Amino acid sequence: MQYFNQTFLAAIFLIAIALTSCNQEANNKITKQQHGNTTSENLDFMKKLNGKYPYEVKLLNNSVLKKRLKKMLGSQYDYMKNIWEVQSPIEINNGLFYAWAMQAHSGGDPSAVLMVDFNKNVLYVGIRKDKQEKIYSEDGSDAPQKIQDWANEQ
């Protein structure tokens, strides 16, 4: 009987360890998935795009960028995408991403500028429509000087 009790207790102990181990493994997977989702909202993938044209890399169709732009711009995202026709090559300088595009045959009105500050992981957009410029900032901060210069050029 004593041998049976020891065997029974050992079996319960091993089952408890196995269940605890499985739970810990499941919790680790959840933590990795949550961390992965946070990281996936980061715009660092854009750092490799210097010199490329936005249409080459389907920039405005990227799911991370698109989600963040839609959240910031609302219905203006569709407007921006519709006028994003004649494009300049992407520039990346001093941690800032810059892309510009205009509607074909418009002379620059309408047009749009997209900027990213990689250090802050913040998006900025400038949209020119009917000789009026509206500048959007994802976190409410002042836009980089390059967007201000773009807004003042016409």
Domains of the chain, by residue range, sit at 1-40, 44-152
pLDDT in tens, 96-115: 999 999 999 999 999 999 99
State the pLDDT confidence band at 41, using cuts at 50, 70 and 90: confident
DSSP 8-state secondary structure symbol assigned to residue 88: P
Cβ partners under 8 Å of residue 64, min gap 6: 40, 41, 42, 43, 45
What per-residue confidence (pLDDT) applies to 69? Answer: 97
pLDDT in tens, 52-71: 999 999 999 999 999 999 99
Q: Which two structure tokens, joined as six digits, stand for 65?
A: 């960028």
Find out whether 68 and 123 touch, Cβ atoms under 8 Å: yes
Q: Which two structure tokens, joined as six digits, stand for 75?
A: 């219905």
